[in-house]
Every structure is written in structure tokens, then in C-alpha cells.
């Protein structure tokens, strides 16, 4: 496990290099970085969108570059259902997650392992659990919080799939 500023590509490269040498084989990458800076589109600025994009997109691209020479079993990007459904005030966040989906698809097309997981709400631990506005919006859409253990069980199944992208969410679209 390494902790680095995912918006700093050089720091990501150094972190991967440090993990790849000396210890056990680096078998997988799980990229779960993300920040929110919600606001209506008219209120967004280039710097606000860049701050949301950096940990997700810059980090994913840096991880992609730094691990290309390694024999990874998994390269998992934690995306969000916001990439498919959007969320009021989260244009930058939705775009960053859609970019993760595209990165996974590109890696797979090039023969490298990749899975982008479009997470729905995860109860008690996810971003939606920390932001009541997001949680309320998702619930209005019928996306209900999953128990963390159940979410991890489904993730384990998704890791065995041959898909570059999968949505994991609990829905009630009755």
C-alpha cells in the first residue's frame, strides 16, 4: 500500500517504482482517489474542474504509464455512476469518472488488464455516505446504499469478469 498525491504524476511514478522493487510482486492497482467540488455549471471555473480531475484522471494516467512494464493481475479504477447518470452540480466529477471508464477501455483494447467500477452508493463509507445531497439525489433515482460487505462481494465477482467497465449498485426502480 502506498499513499501519494495522485494529482502529481511524478510522485505516482516514484510510488509505483518503490513498490515494484524489493518486495513481493506488485500484482494489482486499485485507484480510489477522488475529491468533490460541487457547484452549478455556471459557477465552475477551470481551476475547480482541474482540482476534481487531477486525482482521478492524472492519477489514473500516471498509474497506467508507471505500471505498463509490470505483469499486473488487476488494474482497477473506482469510477462512479455519476459518469452514466450525472448528478446536479457534479459536472467535473462526472467527467472525471467518464475519463476513468475510457482509460479502462483503452487499456483493455491494448491487452492490458483494466476494470472501471462505476460505484453506486455504498453505505457508511463511500462518498455518498459523507455527502447528504449526493445520497438524497441517488435515492431519488432509486439508487440505494449498499452494505460495504455486499459491495466487496460483488467487486470480487467483477474482478473475475472479462469486462472493462461494470456498474455496482443497489437499485430500486419499482
| Cβ neighbours of 166 (radius 10 Å) | 18
pLDDT for 134 equals: 73
Q: What is the distance between the alpha carbons of residues 49 and 44, in angstroms, rounded to a whole number?
A: 7
pLDDT at 1 over 70: no
pLDDT digits (tens, 9 = 90+) for 105-119: 999 999 999 999 999
The pLDDT value given to residue 40 = 78
pLDDT band at 38 (very low <50, low <70, confident <90, very high): confident
E strands, 81-122, in order = 115-119
Helix axis angle, 91-109 relative to 59-67, nearest 10°?
20
Between 140 and 151, whose confidence is greater?
151
User: What confidence score (pLDDT) does residue 2 get?
Assistant: 65
Can you say how many angstroms the Cα of residue 30 is from the centroid of all Cα atoms in its chain?
Answer: 8
Report pLDDT for 48.
Answer: 87
Prediction pTM value = 0.90
Measured CA to CA in angstroms, residue 88 lies from 37, 49, 96, 167, 173 at distances of 12, 15, 15, 20, 20
Report which DSSP code applies to 22.
S
In angstroms, rounded to a whole number, what is the distance separating the alpha carbons of residues 41 and 118?
22
Q: What is the CA radius of gyration of the chain?
A: 16
- For 14-24, what is each residue's pLDDT tens digit? 999 988 887 88
The number of helices, as runs of H, and strands, as runs of E, in the chain is 8, 6
Amino acid at each position: 500500500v502506498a499513499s501519494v498525491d495522485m494529482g502529481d504524476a511524478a510522485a505516482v511514478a516514484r510510488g509505483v517504482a518503490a513498490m515494484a522493487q524489493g518486495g513481493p510482486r506488485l500484482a494489482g492497482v486499485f485507484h480510489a482517489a477522488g475529491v468533490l467540488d460541487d457547484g452549478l455549471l455556471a459557477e465552475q471555473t477551470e481551476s475547480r474542474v482541474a482540482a476534481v480531475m487531477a486525482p482521478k484522471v492524472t492519477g489514473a494516467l500516471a498509474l497506467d504509464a508507471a505500471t505498463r512494464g509490470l505483469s499486473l493481475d488487476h488494474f482497477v479504477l473506482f469510477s462512479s455512476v455519476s459518469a452514466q447518470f450525472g448528478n446536479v452540480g457534479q459536472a467535473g466529477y462526472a467527467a472525471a469518472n467518464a475519463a476513468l471508464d475510457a482509460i479502462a477501455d483503452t487499456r483493455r483494447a491494448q491487452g492490458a488488464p483494466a476494470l472501471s467500477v462505476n460505484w453506486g452508493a455504498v453505505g457508511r463509507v463511500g462518498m455518498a455516505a459523507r455527502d447528504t445531497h449526493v445520497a438524497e439525489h441517488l435515492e431519488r433515482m432509486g439508487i440505494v446504499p449498499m452494505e460495504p460487505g455486499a459491495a466487496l462481494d460483488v467487486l470480487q465477482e467483477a474482478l473475475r469478469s472479462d469486462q472493462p467497465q461494470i456498474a455496482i449498485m443497489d437499485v430500486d426502480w419499482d
